[in-house]
Amino acid sequence: MRQAVAAPGAPKAIGPYSPAIRAGNLLFLSGQIPIDPVTGQLVDGDIATQTDQVMRNVCALLEAAGAGPEHLVRTTVFLADLDEFAAMNERYATYLVDPPPARATVQVARLPMNARVEIDAVAVLP
């Protein structure tokens, strides 16, 4: 059984997808970009500012499903510029607990709304 998960503290989907889907004890989070859930606009700022917003969105979806960052098992980070890896990584790490989830990071040609970072995730629910 699949169940859509949304959260008031995370932006609404900007296309035909669910912000997250619960399937059994797994939660699959769609890629989150730095959209402010109140304004629906992309957060302006450097990679650290945008990573903060993305991770707040991720955490809001986890919370809506009864979980937290400690339940993340896999993330994928998409960067518009791999030269921003260190700054993104520093901010990303502040949202995690040990052991951190498995992760891949890739540079892409372009992200929705010209964001600098997008992160998708998988969590195991308690």
| Domain interval for residue 48 | 2-124
Non-local (6+) Cβ contacts of 17 within 8 A are 30
Per-residue pLDDT tens over the stretch 57-109: 999 999 999 999 999 999 999 999 999 999 999 999 999 999 999 999 999 99
CATH number for position 57 = 3.30.1330.40
CA dist list (Å): 125 to 20, 21, 23, 62, 108: 13, 12, 10, 9, 30
How high is the pLDDT of residue 1? 87
Q: Give residue 31's pLDDT.
A: 98
Domain total of the chain: 1
Tens of pLDDT, residues 7-66: 999 999 989 999 999 999 999 999 999 999 999 999 999 999 999 999 999 999 999 999
Q: Exposed, middle or buried: residue 63 (CB in 10 Å: 0-12, 13-18, 19+)? A: middle
Query: Model pTM?
Result: 0.97
Question: What is the rounded end-to-end Cα distance, in angstroms, of the chain?
Answer: 17
